[in-house]
Amino acid sequence: MAIDRYPKLEIPQTLAAGPGPGHTDERVLQAFATAGVADHMQSDVLRGLIECKHMLRELWGTTNIHTFAVAGTGWSGLDAMFSAVMPGDKVVAFSNGTFSSIDALTLRIKAATPDELAEDSLNPLAKSVVVIKAEHGESVSEECIDAALEEHQPKWAFMAHWETGSGRINDIRAFSDACKRHGVMGLVDAVSSFGVEAFAIDDYPGVVAWASCPQKGLCCLPLTYAPVSFRDVYIDTLIKNGAYTYVHHPIFEARHWGIIGGQDVEKGTYHRTHSPYAVAAFHESLRLALKEGLQKRAESYRKHEVALREAVTTMGCEVTSDMSSLVVLNLPADLSGREGELVELCRANGFGLWPTLSEPIQVRIGILNQLNAGAVRDIVGRFMDVLLEMGCDVDRARVGEVMDKHFPVDCVA
């Protein structure tokens, strides 16, 4: 009789209160769990893919035919978007946090010549790529964008819309306008903004490609599909110059979603194996987002972030972010330097916070799919309990008054 050397893995319920992934809606989990074990080219699976691309266009406010999703996390969608950048291409990348910095590294890898890549394959210093870094805790400004594009005249420019590394929103209108003015093709990381803020990408004609993720604003399973959308000029450039990829090639990937030759067709063709479970979950997530409406969701995020912001400020923290799904904060002075200890203490108690992943270390508290009074009260209460446990002087009554102001006792949302 074989010995079972490894006990069954059981992961307990936790409160995910970081920058993402967020809590997946129970209805999305149900769609994932009840999907039949179907062939990934089975008719209902293909119909799901076709409907997903149409829902994505509606949610993102675009008529771009090449709007679909790439299997994987947000990094898969970003890699697909960056696939058109070729060795030697001139690029300006704006960075104001951990994730836009990784995006900039990706662009340096894509644009590096063979010699540059061989010199330092893990951190190539591509001469054709200029990385413009904002000060920590600052957004990328209109003046910074315009000056950089005017000076360097690149082929491509990149910026994150919302940067969760620092919790800052960047000026997407100024970025689009500057790209149009200087004849530059804009690329945008919308991983943290899509599904949280209400905006239409067709309102930003200077941006030719967008990439997002499933596990933040859409609150879907992390390993489902990363939304992408490409303007015709991007696709034309890709056809002309090619890309050094198969799996993340936007044109090849689009075929599985029924986008062939720049046209919608009745069903897609084989590109790679898709998961029927993931299709079912992604479809339900998009359907629920449309049913709720992005404007209503955006307003709810703003409302609940304001309450969380005031509560942690009352505890003595300094908030430096301006996103509506996340607060990034400095701890009270007497806990400065103990951010890692605090985060680990929270996690040990089933409360998943995150530190920032680059210096200076701060604490990040998110409310993804936590848009109700009970959830925010729970997050605030748990955070306050940990501060008190670490010896911080917090006035519990004052924090309670803040919560009651934003969420009266008879309030259900």
What confidence tens digit (pLDDT) does each residue in 23-63 have?
Answer: 899 999 999 999 987 788 888 998 999 999 999 999 999 99
Task: Provide the pLDDT for residue 172.
Answer: 97
Main-chain phi, psi angles of 66, to 5 degrees: -80, 65
Number of other residues whose CB lies within 10 A of the CB of residue 170: 25
The structure tokens listed for 40 are: 């990934």
Task: Provide the pLDDT for residue 42.
Answer: 87
Alpha-carbon distance 179 to 173, whole Å? 10
Look at residues 173, 174, 224, 166 and name the one whose alpha carbon lies nearest to residue 195.
224
Angle at 15 between CA 9 and CA 16, to 5 degrees: 90
Alpha-carbon distance 214 to 223, whole Å? 8
Q: pLDDT per residue over 217-239, tens digit each? A: 998 987 899 999 999 999 999 99
When pLDDT is averaged across residues 388-399 and rounded to a whole number, the result is 96
Give residue 1's pLDDT band: very low, low, confident or very high (50, 70, 90). low
Identify whether the C-beta of residue 40 lies closer than 8 Å to the C-beta of residue 276: yes
Task: Provide the pLDDT for residue 2.
Answer: 67
236 half-sphere exposure, CB direction, 13 A CA radius: 5
Q: pLDDT per residue over 283-321, tens digit each? A: 999 999 999 999 999 999 999 999 999 999 999 999 999
What percent of the chain has pLDDT above 90? 87
Q: What is the mean pLDDT of the chain?
A: 94
Q: Which amino acid is at 335?
A: L
Identify whether the C-beta of residue 351 lies closer than 8 Å to the C-beta of residue 17: yes
Task: Provide the pLDDT for residue 266.
Answer: 84
What is the signed CA dihedral for 229, 233, 237, 240, rounded to 10 degrees?
120
When pLDDT is averaged across residues 197-218 and rounded to a whole number, the result is 97
Task: Provide the pLDDT for residue 365.
Answer: 98
Q: Is the pLDDT of residue 412 over 80?
A: no
Task: Provide the pLDDT for residue 352.
Answer: 94
H-helix or E-strand spanning residue 229 = strand 225-230
Burial label for 410, CB within 10 Å (0-12, 13-18, 19+), is: exposed
Identify whether the C-beta of residue 50 lies closer than 8 Å to the C-beta of residue 228: no
Alpha-carbon distance 359 to 32, whole Å? 38
Task: Provide the pLDDT for residue 179.
Answer: 98
Alpha-carbon distance 67 to 78, whole Å? 14
Main-chain phi, psi angles of 33, to 5 degrees: -75, -25
Per the DSSP assignment, residues forming a β-bridge with 66 are 230
Domains and CATH numbers, the chain: 26-290 (3.40.640.10), 294-406 (3.90.1150.10)
- Using the Cα atoms of residue 61, residue 62, residue 63 and residue 67 in order, give the sign of their dihedral: negative
Alpha-helix runs per DSSP H in 353-395: 373-389
Q: Is the pLDDT of residue 106 over 60?
A: yes
Task: Provide the pLDDT for residue 280.
Answer: 95
Q: Which residues contact 203 (CB under 8 A, 6 or more apart)?
A: 61
When pLDDT is averaged across residues 166-178 and rounded to a whole number, the result is 97
Task: Provide the pLDDT for residue 222.
Answer: 79
The structure tokens listed for 208 are: 């030719």
Q: Is the pLDDT of residue 347 over 80?
A: yes
Task: Provide the pLDDT for residue 221.
Answer: 84
Alpha-carbon distance 322 to 397, whole Å? 26
Number of other residues whose CB lies within 10 A of the CB of residue 247: 15
Identify whether the C-beta of residue 329 lies closer than 8 Å to the C-beta of residue 363: yes
Instruction: Give CA 223 to chain center in angstroms.
Output: 13
Q: pLDDT per residue over 257-285, tens digit each? A: 999 999 999 888 888 888 999 999 999 99
